[in-house]
Amino acid sequence: AKMERKVSRRAKKEEEDLEALIAEFQNLDAKKTQVIESSCPPPSPRLNGSLSAHPEKDELILFGGEYFNGQKTYLYNELYVYNIRKNSWSKVEIPNPPPRRCAHQAAVVPTAGGQLWVFGGEFASPNGEQFYHYKDLWVLHLATKTWEQIKASGGPSGRSGHRMVACKRQLIIFGGFHESARDYIYYNDVYAFNLDSFTWSKLAPSGIGPAPRSGCQMATTPEGGIIIYGGYSKQRIKKDVDKGTLHTDMDIIKSGLLVDKWAWSRLNPSGVKPTPRSGFSIAIGPNNRSLLFGGVHDEEEEESIEGDFFNDIYFYDIGKNRWFPGQLKGPKSEKRKRRRGRQGEAEGAGDEEMEKQPPQGPVEIVKEVVAEDGTVMTIKQVISGPAEEKERSESEEDEEDGALGQQVEPCPRSNAMLAVKHGVLYVYGGMFEVGDRQFTLSDLYSIDLHKMEEWKVLVEMDPKAQEWLEESESDEEEDDMEGAEGGEEEEESSEEESEDEGGEEQHPSVQPDEKHADYLSRTEQYWIKLARSNMGPDAKEKKVVKVAHAMAKTFYEDSV
């Protein structure tokens, strides 16, 4: 009822309010008169931005995105550049950038030293109740470091969650959605922007195309066709009740001999298809393959939604029309070291057997990590089988520095940002949820798609440096300017507080050969006391005990 009162009060002036707010931010950006490039720490946590590979340099370009801390939504229009060789970040401030946004699309073309094209996306009010969907088109000239807005009529309506690819001197845009406080609509239209004439055209393909959706996979074929897979949409089945749909169909749109004649047709790929999900991230890999990473499958119940998050990779071989899951093969260095003797060769052969028999190979375990406020978050990890670890000699352990111990990998997430450069996939940021709490990430991982041996951590995630503010019951409006401005300072201060608090705790140590159950029974009261001090006197006893056990488990496993 409270939400309905807010919506009815604000719905009429929603777009006008946001347009005025966006204009204010643009006035602030207009005060920048010169390009300033400076070294900086990794960007703050975010999701739904764009990460693009520079066409000529060993760089990745991060633009836009959003961050939600439980009370406020922060939107960004910052431009960051990641230097792959130096593993370093720099922030590039360029006059007159596009307004703050998330859920936009970016595509790179190699023209004139490289161009980054950006279309659409959305702006949200700090309280997250109002949305403005952009329909503007921008180009960043990478050689001169200048933004330019391209004004051409006949383009798509305002939207976010759409997909855009560069194909034969055209930008092709498909789908997306538009949402207001009163209604929403999903699209399945197709537009083309000509990169030579700078003109829009709406395609009218024959055949039956995909249903309206957002967040799908979009990839080009060498022949100039465009493949659409998956996505998400929802429809209203009765008043105030929406039903979401996870799409799993696959279609291709191709032009014939006549350039303006496009046609849809259904694809029926073979192989192992991805499990149904939304919020997955997409990229084009080497060897004529597109790839899909992560995402979430929501289990909708009457009162709540519980999400299963993923961190797997699926490849789609465009030439063979076949899906297959990406599987880690393990580092090559360890195989070379094992070939130094007969025993090593035997063990190496054993590794291959383990790959063929998944139950004996790497095992997925679930690890719970407790944030500073006592919230438990679950991270899936892959560790090598126990038999494999026992077979290693001490000298091999020293040489390999624990390479066969715990294998690192990105934690499950949705709405991450992907880019591929020189056959290496880079995964940045995204989010996952634990109960009502959202964890927004700022880590960076990479994996060589040619070798598929192991993930590398380029920027680590600190699960305890997470800001989360419980939703305020106050009906008063938050300061709009403060909310949409940034959030880095607040995040940094919360990190410092977390470190200060964490340094005062004295954990009871784990005794040699002590089992988890023994450790828990011996130290349970300590952990309950610590959990209660973190969660406050009003926390329910059942939840306090649950969090205490999770904290004890985490500490026990780390100690072992």
Query: Residue 29 — φ and ψ, nearest 5°?
Result: -65, -30
Query: Which of 275, 543, 545, 325 is CA-nearest to residue 434?
Result: 543
Radius of gyration of the chain (CA): 25
* Amino acid sitting at position 31: K
pLDDT over threshold 80, residue 445: yes
pLDDT over threshold 80, residue 401: no
pLDDT over threshold 80, residue 332: no
406 — pLDDT class (breaks 50, 70, 90):
low
Query: Which pLDDT belongs to residue 24?
Result: 78
pLDDT over threshold 90, residue 30: no
Query: Which pLDDT belongs to residue 475?
Result: 42
**Lowest mean pLDDT across 41-50, 70-79, 313-322, 379-388:** 379-388
Q: What is the pTM of this model?
A: 0.73
pLDDT over threshold 50, residue 353: no
The position carrying tokens 């209203």 is 236
The position carrying tokens 């488990």 is 553
Per-residue pLDDT averaged across 483-506, rounded? 42
CA dist list (Å): 22 to 50, 67, 74, 104: 20, 17, 13, 16
Query: Which pLDDT belongs to residue 378?
Result: 54
Query: Which pLDDT belongs to residue 331?
Result: 73
Instruction: Give the span between the Cα atoms of 54 and 43, in whole angstroms.
Output: 18
Query: Which pLDDT belongs to residue 381?
Result: 46
420: CB partners within 8 A, 6+ apart: 53, 283, 284, 285, 286, 426, 449
Query: Which pLDDT belongs to residue 352?
Result: 39
**pLDDT tens digits for range 369-389:** 555 555 555 555 444 344 333
Query: Which pLDDT belongs to residue 357?
Result: 40
CA dist list (Å): 63 to 1, 241, 253: 37, 35, 29
**Sheet of 137-141, strands arranged across:** 105-109, 115-119, 137-141, 146-150
Work out the number of other CB atoms within 10 angstroms of the CB of residue 114: 20
pLDDT over threshold 90, residue 473: no
Per-residue pLDDT averaged across 14-35, rounded? 78
Query: Which pLDDT belongs to residue 507?
Result: 62
141: CB partners within 8 A, 6+ apart: 112, 113, 114, 115, 147, 148
Burial per residue of 441-453, b for 16 or more beta-carbon CB atoms within 10 angstroms, e otherwise? bbbbbbbebeebb
Query: Which of 81, 79, 75, 84 is CA-nearest to residue 95?
Result: 79
**Measured torsion, CA atoms of residues 22, 25, 31, 32, in degrees rounded to the nearest 10:** -100
Query: Which pLDDT belongs to residue 559?
Result: 76
- Identify the burial level of 224 via C-beta atoms within 10 angstroms of its C-beta, where 0-12 means exposed, 13-18 middle and 19 or more buried: middle
482 — pLDDT class (breaks 50, 70, 90):
very low
Query: Which pLDDT belongs to residue 538?
Result: 74
Quote the tokens at residue 95. 């006059």
pLDDT over threshold 90, residue 514: no
pLDDT over threshold 60, residue 279: yes
Query: Which pLDDT belongs to residue 499?
Result: 39
Instruction: Give the span between the Cα atoms of 529 and 519, in whole angstroms.
Output: 16
β-strand partners of 170: 194
Which one-letter DSSP state was computed for residue 47? B
Select the highest-mean-pLDDT range: 121-130, 307-316, 490-499. 307-316
**Lowest mean pLDDT across 327-331, 429-433, 490-494, 517-521:** 490-494
pLDDT over threshold 70, residue 220: yes
340 — pLDDT class (breaks 50, 70, 90):
very low
Query: Which of 488, 479, 414 is CA-nearest to residue 232?
Result: 414
DSSP for 383-415 reads: E--HHHHHH--HHHHHHHTTTTSEEP-PPS-BS
Query: Which of 312, 315, 322, 328 is CA-nearest to residue 283?
Result: 315
pLDDT over threshold 80, residue 305: no
SS3 293: strand
Query: Which of 231, 348, 221, 345 is CA-nearest to residue 281?
Result: 231
Query: Which pLDDT belongs to residue 552?
Result: 82
Per-residue pLDDT averaged across 527-542, rounded? 78
Higher pLDDT, residue 484 or 421: 421
Residue-range domain boundaries for the chain: 516-558
35 — pLDDT class (breaks 50, 70, 90):
very high
Residue 63: CA count within 13 A, CB half-sphere:
28
**pLDDT tens digits for range 90-140:** 999 999 999 999 999 999 999 999 999 999 999 988 877 788 999 999 999
- Identify the burial level of 121 via C-beta atoms within 10 angstroms of its C-beta, where 0-12 means exposed, 13-18 middle and 19 or more buried: buried
Query: Which of 294, 300, 188, 306 is CA-nearest to residue 244?
Result: 300
Instruction: Give the span between the Cα atoms of 352 and 338, in whole angstroms.
Output: 13
Higher pLDDT, residue 511 or 428: 428
Tally of residues, the chain: 560
pLDDT over threshold 80, residue 464: no
Give the torsion sign (CA, 152, 157, 162, 168). negative
Quote the tokens at residue 94. 């360029």
| Average pLDDT, rounded, for the chain | 80
